[in-house]
Structure 1
């Protein structure tokens, strides 16, 4: 008898077919609409496997209703949408999809850096609105990227990939991390800094740290005031790491030059959010990993994690491997 699984969003047909070979599959049918909570609560009661996205809150109360659930396969690197402690307590394995989106997210991070530095979105709107009348020496003049100092908060896989791109622009690379990365320092010429030193020295502050209780509101009023008035803040990590009210004030008061954001405390972001009124804030709808190749590979890896475990084997990527002890 095939194990039952529930998939919370439409996925590529070939990957769905792979799951259907070994599992009895139910699928939320609306492609771009998150599964309603009441539907998720109903579907999770019977299944052994849940294939989900960051849009689903897999909290303690939901897991309490899952009588047969053995695995939650998250199609993402992060898993702050899942109460891992509650899952572990119930002997439910949590898996994720690291590695496959490193380069794609690094590309997007550097794209945001360049967009904000050179005021590209503002310039595009200037042109489209018929405001371009003549060439002018300081018209839409921005900040240089080549030779500037980039400060990377969180030197993990994506942080290192961004540093490699920065090296190609002859940027001075400084970073802050829980542990020093001596091999990266030697290979890329990166220099370690305290958190405060990084904020004070950087022309670009790139947030690439995981979302944890320790990183919530990591960047607020005090930290923004430490930055240069010409500095630019980039966040492609997770919402909640930056205090958005404090960032809005800093941008309004020109305490920093600009910000480029792909993630927000509440997603989707309201069109009425104050940050969207600012010309010096480039905001994107959480598209860090959004290339066809990368999203397909994320979907495939999430499926592999799920099927591998339900077949009695160890999945490639386990968030709480202690669940496997004695299995």
Structure 2
């Protein structure tokens, strides 16, 4: 499955979403989750559709194809990775009390917190069922390994979320634990989606392990990019409030780098913004200017580039192909210019 056009940035991801694999995923997602009077399924459908960029399931399909497998054979499993991802978004919106997701009311706002909790749980169980369904064309041992990869990613996600909560408002501890926190919280699922695709595509252990490492580095770069977007893009572009990270006191990389570089007086003011857990008038603008002046934006970009380059290096195990090019393009897209 090839992607229309070249790997231009940032339009590459939009091209990928419109590619044959993107259309296949969206069609199958709509088929599996039709409009229904059933309340639980309706909540899940609202959470899943209209779909986002579907980056994670796209990576599962292309990882499978890059090692010689058939994307259609792993289609269900690819959707399973999206189920787990969306479940985490639903639960995150409850934890963070965010009201906006993908440019519309978040699931807890649209359906209430109890409905959102149950829908997120429902999606998690569907994710495991989908992995098993997607493994019908491969040996049982590969299916077991794929299910294990998803379970381990889910456990790491929970550990990363708990670690982030413990670091809220604590920029001193955040500087120490941030790399591990984002590896667990974000890198783990990217690791799993590529590992699952490689396993179900029939890759030998050396290759599937390399693709797992590729995914973890891509996920780490993706989280740093997301940290930056909070200060470089509008809510319309990100699909969430610009004040979300400040309201929740999150120790994002730009904040950590700025905290390390600024004066003691500026540190006191920055901590005050984080500790009051509610961005007041002018806070976002002040913090954004602080990050730029402290060189934190450029510093975070450099970290992002390092992980993207390490991800691309892991792809050396692959035979050249259109899907290998897509995986390379995804890593390169992480370093593309942002608004």
Task: Name the one with the larger strand percent.
Answer: 1
TM range (shorter): under 0.3
Larger helix percent: 2
TM-score (norm 1): 0.28
Greater Cα radius of gyration, structure 1 or 2:
1
TM-score (norm 2): 0.27
